[in-house]
Amino acid sequence: MYFLIALGNPGDRYKYTPHNAGWLLVDTLVPADDWQDNKYANAHLAVVSIEGKDVMLVKPQTHMNNSGEVIAYLAREYGLTPETTIVMYDDIDFPVGVLKMFHDRGDGGHNGIKSITEHLGTGAFTRIRIGVSEDLGGGKMDKPAVLKQMDKQWLDTLLATNAKLRKGLVRFITDGLEKATTFLNTEE
């Protein structure tokens, strides 16, 4: 089983903020009724099949800074390992509409990734970084406040990446990390 852990913050006031980009995208992978609230994991969980492999989708219900608390439960109950883990989260260094995949990197100052790394005991897991900034051209970005509600155009641009995300996950499962990384990190 693979695990796609999408980072975000619970509560309506955070729903359409850049920090919830992971939750917004993972919600496109499964019908809303398929999510199950697991009080022991303190997370919403759903299982989908991608190319015949089970993928557990995870939305930790802790706030961003404590996202890693779900790791112990998933490892104990479902066999989560660093090799089977993909964490999806917002990144202000990329424009909205861009997805990038990396493996075994630092936390880049992202508190959710710091928490995951601490609880997993290693940084050797795969990440999908979701761009949330406005591209001003010439390499300049307008970096949003990550807890600010965003407008419909921003949300539409973000959600338009769902097809690329799906294809990237298929590549990861069928062809491995290197080909999935090449696919997601290449602009179309």
Q: Which active-site residues does the annotation give?
A: 19
Q: For the residues of 152-167, what is the DSSP string, one character each?
A: HHHHHHHHTTHHHHHH
Distance CA 66, CA 152 (A): 29
3-state SS record for 89-140: EEEEEEECCCEEEEECCCCCCCHHHHHHHHHHCCCCCEEEEEEEEEEEECCE
